[in-house]
Every structure is written in structure tokens, then in C-alpha cells.
Amino acid sequence: MIWYTFCYIVYYKDMYCSTCKTTENLCPSPYARYKTKSYYICRGCNTRNQRAKRARYKALVYDHYGRKCNCCGETEILFLSVDHVNNDGNTHKHRSGQRVLGAALYGQIVSSGYPDSYQILCMNCNYGKHKNSGVCPHEANGL
Ligand SMILES: [Zn+2]
Ligand SMILES: [Zn+2]
Ligand SMILES: [Zn+2]
């Protein structure tokens, strides 16, 4: 895992959050194995860090693949999402059986070196592609 997903609440004597210095709701930060005082983090800061990391990974992914739809050129970021070029999204599953989506997917893409098997598509093209057995109607109609 790239980022620290779970915050196990533990009570360490004389420990405090390395970010905000609170002594409450502490959990080991990703660097807890060093077992030094400064490597503990409170739940609030952990959540904030995770959110920041997620935003950073998302930005990295869009920086790499481009901030527009690979099919129709839509640039409204709110319409865009990551698409599996080969429609193999269902093979990317957690052990839990859930598809890897959103934050986890961004992290996975970055850590695996931006594979060519991903692209940015807008919701229309994404949806159209899946409804049209893997080819966006734009493409099928020779856009
Ligand atoms: Zn804190
Ligand atoms: Zn599109
Ligand atoms: Zn399209």
C-alpha cells in the first residue's frame, strides 16, 4: 500500500502527534517502525494527510495521461475519469472482490509506472464504450 489506510488507535505513553502535537487518538504513522516519538500521528492529521496524498496522486495521474477525454476531447475535469483501455477493469480486484477504484486506483497507477493500459475518458465516452461492447459510439460512428 502506498498510503496508510488504517489508523489503529493506540495509546502510547509520552507520545504525541508529530503534526499537531495532540496526545489523543494517536496511531503509528507509516514510519512507526522507527519507533521514535515524532513518528506518531493523530487520527485527524492522518485523515488530512491521506486526503492530501490522494489529491496528489490524482493530479499525477491526470498530469501523465492528460486532462482531457482521450476520445472526444472533453476537458471538464469533473466529467473525466480513469478508464481501462482494454476493458479489463474487472480483473483489477481487491481480495474483497471489489474493483480497484478512485483513490486506490490512482495510487496503483502511479506505483506501477503509469501503464499504457489506462487512459482518461469522460463519463459519456466511458459509459458509451461499456454499453457499446468496448468501443465508444463516437469511434464506432467515425468521429
Ligand atoms: Zn495531529
Ligand atoms: Zn469523451
Ligand atoms: Zn467518445
Whether residues 125 and 92 share a domain: the answer is: yes
Distance 43 CA to ligand 1 centre (A): 7
Whether residues 11 and 77 share a domain: the answer is: no
Residues around ion ligand 2, judged by CB within 5 A, are 69, 71-72, 74, 122, 125
Parallel/antiparallel/unpaired status of strands 40-42 and 26-28: antiparallel
- pLDDT, averaged per 10 consecutive residues of the chain (143 residues), comes to 51 75 78 58 87 91 96 95 77 54 82 94 94 90 66
Whether residues 83 and 134 share a domain: the answer is: yes
Q: How far is residue 140's CA from residue 143's CA, in Å, rounded to a whole number?
A: 8
Number of folded domains that form the chain: 2
Q: Does a structural domain hold residue 61?
A: no
Instruction: Quote the pLDDT of residue 4.
Output: 47
- The pTM (predicted TM-score) of the whole model is 0.69
Whether residues 73 and 136 share a domain: the answer is: yes
Instruction: Quote the pLDDT of residue 42.
Output: 87
Whether residues 28 and 76 share a domain: the answer is: no
Instruction: Quote the pLDDT of residue 27.
Output: 78
Instruction: Quote the pLDDT of residue 72.
Output: 96
Side chain identity, residue 79:
F
Whether residues 46 and 70 share a domain: the answer is: no
Distance 125 CA to ligand 3 centre (A): 4
Domain containing 91: what range? 66-140
Q: Does a structural domain hold residue 5?
A: yes
Distance 15 CA to ligand 2 centre (A): 51
Instruction: Quote the pLDDT of residue 88.
Output: 61
- Ligand found nearest the CA of 122: 2
Whether residues 80 and 135 share a domain: the answer is: yes
Q: How far is residue 87's CA from residue 121's CA, in Å, rounded to a whole number?
A: 12
Whether residues 70 and 46 share a domain: the answer is: no
- Ligand found nearest the CA of 42: 1
Q: Does a structural domain hold residue 82?
A: yes
- Ligand found nearest the CA of 46: 1
Q: Does a structural domain hold residue 58?
A: no
**118, 109 contact by CB (below 8 A):** yes
